[in-house]
Amino acid sequence: MPASLDRIRRNILRLAALMAVLLTALVVTLIYWQIVAADRLLDHPNNRRLAWKEERICRGGLYDRTGIALAKSEFEAREQIRQYPLGEAAALLIGYRSPRYGRTGLEARYQSRLSGLTARRTLLDLRNEILGRQAHGDDVFTTLDAALQRAAWEGLGGRPGAVVALEPATGAIRCLVSS
């Protein structure tokens, strides 16, 4: 009998060790998804859980280096309207934001900042909701020059081509047009 009790104890210890390893793996996985990957998951285009919240937040603006608006939002009749003042001159670069088709260009790249939907803004959002204030996303300022962007677009005159203007000292993009 003592040999079989010893074997049972070893099996129980092995089972306990296996359960400890599995529990540790579960905790590490949960920490990864809740802390490390939280922002990436929040920004993922297929995350439809937050679509209703995004529609209630006034999306931040995209601006050139001098403060000229490249994209801005306004609410009309409780519906958010996204405006692109440069139109076709910056369409490829700025991209678009659509509830149906998603986001492209700078609208996609800076989604979390423009929408204000980051994990770090939770307390600010709660305060705005309690006080009844309109929530706003963050504005993004680029290195682009709106006047140069428009001049390059008009210079192409509808012909196929591309214009890129960089500041050599810093690598800042001043103009990026494709037709």
For 136-163, write each residue's pLDDT tens digit.
888 999 999 999 999 999 999 989 999 9
Average pLDDT value over all residues in the chain = 87
Residue 43: is its pLDDT beyond 70?
no
| Closest CA relative to residue 162, chosen from 86, 64, 92, 103 | 92
Q: What is the DSSP letter of 48?
A: G
What integer is the mean pLDDT of 43-64? 78
Residue 78: is its pLDDT beyond 70?
yes
Residue 33: is its pLDDT beyond 80?
yes
pTM of full prediction above 0.75? no
Residue 105 — very low, low, confident or very high, per pLDDT cuts 50/70/90?
Answer: very high
Given the structure tokens 């006080």, which residue do they identify? 131
Q: What is the pLDDT of residue 111?
A: 85
Cα separation of the two ends of the chain: 86
What integer is the mean pLDDT of 117-129? 68
Q: What is the DSSP letter of 145?
A: -
Return the structure tokens found at 55.
Answer: 């529609």
| Helical ranges in 32-145 per DSSP H | 38-43, 51-56, 91-94, 105-109, 111-115, 122-131
Contact 89, 150 (CB under 8 A): yes
